């Protein structure tokens, strides 16, 4: 399969929320990875800006990659 869609979400967090947010983002990435059309998904913490996280996903089509980012679950997480 080829990558036809890329989603990048930058998340800047409040001080003290690191551990909880990392766990939530990792769990969301794991669920997203299991969806049809998702080729890869991951969460990365910026080294130079420790309060900034980058959530990225790669998929087969734009439609399949946009759908998970429109969920109430993600709104509540962020």
pLDDT tens sequence across 54-69: 989 898 888 877 776 6
Q: 8-46 burial, b if ≥16 CB within 10 A, otherwise e?
A: eeeeebeeeeeeebeebbeebbeebeeeebbbebebebe
Closest CA to 15 of 67, 51, 47, 43: 51
Using one digit for the tens of pLDDT, what is the confidence trace for 4-50?
888 888 988 888 776 777 888 888 888 888 888 888 999 998 889 88
CATH architecture of the domain covering 5-77? 2-Layer Sandwich (3.30)
Answer whether 0.75 is exceeded by the pTM. Answer: no
pLDDT at 54: 92
Q: Looking at per-residue confidence, does 56 or 1 come out higher?
A: 56
Domain spans of the chain?
A: 5-77
């Amino acid at each position: 399969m080829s990558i036809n869609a890329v989603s990048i979400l930058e998340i800047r967090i409040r001080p003290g929320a690191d551990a909880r947010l990392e766990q939530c983002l990792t769990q969301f990435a794991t669920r997203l990875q299991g969806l049809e059309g998702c080729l890869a998904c991951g969460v990365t913490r910026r080294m130079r800006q420790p309060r900034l996280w980058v959530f990225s996903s790669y998929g087969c089509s734009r439609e399949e990659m946009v759908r998970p980012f429109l969920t109430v679950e993600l709104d509540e997480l962020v």
